[in-house]
Amino acid sequence: MILVKVDSLSTQELRNIAEEEGVVGFDALDRDGLVAALREYFEEDEEQARDSSVNRRFLYGLTDYREIDKDIQKLPGVVDLPESYPNTEIHLLYKNPYWAYAYWAISKSDRKKLEESGCGLFLTIRIENNDEKSVFSIPISIEDTEWNVSLSSKKGTCTVSLTTEQDGKSLELAHSSTLNLIDSYYLDNPEEIYKNDNLFKIYLSQIANKDGEVEETPLIDEILSVYEKGVTERWKA
Partner 1 sequence: MESVNNINLILHAHLPYVRHLEYPRFLEEDWFFESLNESYIPLLRMLEKLSKENVRYKLSICFSPTLLTMLEDDMLKKRFINYMDLHIELGENEVRRLQGRTTRALAQKYLKDLRENLKYFEENGESIIDVVKKLRKEGHLELFTTAATHAYLPLYREFPTAIRSQVIVGIETFEKIFGYKPDGFWLPECGYYPGLDSVLSSYGIKWCQIASHSVVSAREKSKYGGYRPVKLPSGLVAFPRDWNITSLVWSDRSGYPCDGDYREFYRDIGYDLPMNYIRKYIHEPEVRVFTGFKYFAITGKENDKKEYEVEKAMKKVSLHVDNFIYHIKRAGLMISGLDVDNPVFNLCFDQELFGHRWYEGIEFLRLFLIRSSLEPSIRLTTPSGNLNDGRIGTESLYINDSSWGQGGYSDVWLDDKNIWIYRHIHQAIERMEELTQRFPSQGSLKGRFLNQASREVLLAMSSDWPYIMHDQTSVTYAEKRLRNHLGSFNVVYSAMCKNTVNTEWLIKAERRNAIFPDIDYNIFNPMK
Rule CB under 8 A: which of 61-80 touch partner 1? 61-66, 68-73, 75-80
* Under 8 Å between Cβ of 174 and 131: no
Q: Restricting to residues 9-68, name those near partner 1 by CB under 8 A.
A: 53-66, 68
The least distance separating partner 1 from the CB of residue 28, rounded to whole angstroms, comes to 28
The least distance separating partner 1 from the CB of residue 164, rounded to whole angstroms, comes to 21
Measured between alpha carbons, how far is 146 from 99 in angstroms, rounded to an integer? Answer: 13
- Does 7 interact with partner 1 (rule: CB under 8 A)? no
Q: Restricting to residues 172-191, name those near partner 1 by CB under 8 A.
A: 176-177, 180, 182-187
* Under 8 Å between Cβ of 119 and 205: no
Measured between alpha carbons, how far is 97 from 154 in angstroms, rounded to an integer? Answer: 6
Q: Restricting to residues 194-223, name those near partner 1 by CB under 8 A.
A: 196, 198-199, 201-203, 205-211, 215-220, 223
CA–CA distance from 89 to each of 43, 135, 165, 182, 194 (Å)? 33, 19, 17, 25, 46
User: Whose Cβ is closer to partner 1: residue 137's or residue 159's?
Assistant: 159
* Under 8 Å between Cβ of 193 and 230: yes
User: Under rule CB under 8 A, how many of the chain's residues touch partner 1?
Assistant: 74
Measured between alpha carbons, how far is 148 from 160 in angstroms, rounded to an integer? Answer: 11
DSSP state of 147: E
The least distance separating partner 1 from the CB of residue 120, rounded to whole angstroms, comes to 23
Q: Which of 91, 111, 113, 175 binds partner 1 (CB under 8 A)?
A: 91
User: Whose Cβ is closer to partner 1: residue 93's or residue 171's?
Assistant: 93
Measured between alpha carbons, how far is 15 from 28 in angstroms, rounded to an integer? Answer: 10
The least distance separating partner 1 from the CB of residue 195, rounded to whole angstroms, comes to 10
- Does 132 interact with partner 1 (rule: CB under 8 A)? no
Q: Restricting to residues 141-160, name those near partner 1 by CB under 8 A.
A: 145-146
The type of residue at 207 is I
